[in-house]
Structure 1
Amino acid sequence: MPQSTAGIRRRLVCMLYESLVVFSILLIGFLLPQIVLSGFNFALTPRMLWLHVVLLLLAYFVWCWLNGGQTLPMKTWKLRLISNEGSAIRPLQAVLRYLAAWPSILFFGIGIFWALFDKDGQFLHDRIAGTQIVSTA
């Protein structure tokens, strides 16, 4: 690896900030359309609702990672997502990282705890996607 992975505490605090941004995105991109659709007596099935959430967040994260390697909280905490080779990540890596992060986080944070035992301190979804979060400070 050309650069060392940013510290786990810093990445976890960044994830906390990220949850606030994600909440806002879901509020605007999910709740408001649902209110409008309910006015027309149109209801999405639970599967369609989950698909909407997954695709909405996929668009946010993949776009941010492919356009500068940073989300707004990552910019605030001076973190950047790069490939293990030190270059910008490829679209397939961004999608793979996003998809791998779901079970990594939802299954009791197993992919986050992985960093405690990983030789480079990487989260499981970063290991799977061939990416790493580095400090820009």
Structure 2
Amino acid sequence: MPAVTPAFPSPSAASAPRTPPLRRRLLCMLYDGVLLFGVLMLASAVYVGARPLLQQAGLDHPYARQAWIFVVLALYFSWFWQRSGQTLAMQTWRIRLENRAGHAPGWTQALLRYVLAWLWLPPAAAVGHALGLTKGPFLGVLAVGLLIWMSLAWLDPRRQFLHDRLAGTRLTDLRPQQS
């Protein structure tokens, strides 16, 4: 049986990039969510402006709106990640996304990470639908699914999220090391 190689080699503890604590990552995600209000408002305005054309073409459907938002978010995150490895919130919280070589990921890897980060949603939604839940209880099941997905970071030796491991990326803490 061949040996399993880790996603990231294990350099000495002194030179290994530090993973930001889960609390800081969650606060950074919350801040990114606040910043996305403006991005999503602009994306919604574009969609509403294009809606008459979409209706004429028979493409105005709730799934079309959802797909539009998904694409806008993919472009937002991937553009920042491939450019500098940091969204605006990540710059504030001094967290950086890197590939195995320690550089910002390319477009393909950034888009892959974005798509993989949504993998918690289908199982949680399937459970909610299987239980016949709607509105609040359904959102509760989605929240539990997200919490389970995030808690998987505790099973990873480097405390990385599953989507980072699968995409070959990692989050690093840019704060100076305290002695």
Contact 1:96 1:129 in 2 (8 A): yes
Change (3 A) 1:38 1:89: closer
Residues 1:133 and 2:171 aligned together: yes
TM, length-normalised to structure 2: 0.68
Aligned partner of 2:87 in structure 1 is 71
Partners in 2 of 1:41 and 1:111 — Cα distance?
A: 36
Point out where structure 2 has 5 or more consecutive residues left out of the alignment.
Answer: 1-7, 9-15, 125-144
Instruction: Report Cα offsets for 1:6-65 as digits up to 9, x if no partner.
Output: 1111101000111112222111112x1243345679372112111101110111011000
Partners in 2 of 1:29 and 1:74 — Cα distance?
A: 22
Aligned partner of 1:60 in structure 2 is 76
Aligned partner of 1:19 in structure 2 is 33
Instruction: Report Cα offsets for 1:58-111 as digits up to 9, x if no partner.
Output: 110110001111000000001110013322212221011000111236741133
Partners in 2 of 1:34 and 1:102 — Cα distance?
A: 23
| Percentage of pairs with the same residue | 35
Tell me the secondary structure at the aligned position of residue 118 of structure 2.
helix
Aligned partner of 1:35 in structure 2 is 48
Question: Relative to structure 2, which stretch is displaced further, 78-87 or 102-111?
Answer: 102-111
Tell me the secondary structure at the aligned position of residue 134 of structure 1.
strand
Change (3 A) 1:44 1:134: same
Change (3 A) 1:71 1:58: same
Contact 2:164 2:170 in 1 (8 A): yes
Q: How many residue pairs were aligned?
A: 136
Contact 1:14 1:77 in 2 (8 A): yes
Partners in 2 of 1:17 and 1:113 — Cα distance?
A: 20
Point out where structure 1 has 5 or more consecutive residues left out of the alignment.
Answer: none
Give matches, 1:89-100, under 5 Å: 89-100=105-116
Tell me the secondary structure at the aligned position of residue 5 of structure 1.
coil
Structure whose CA Rg is larger = 2
Aligned partner of 1:84 in structure 2 is 100
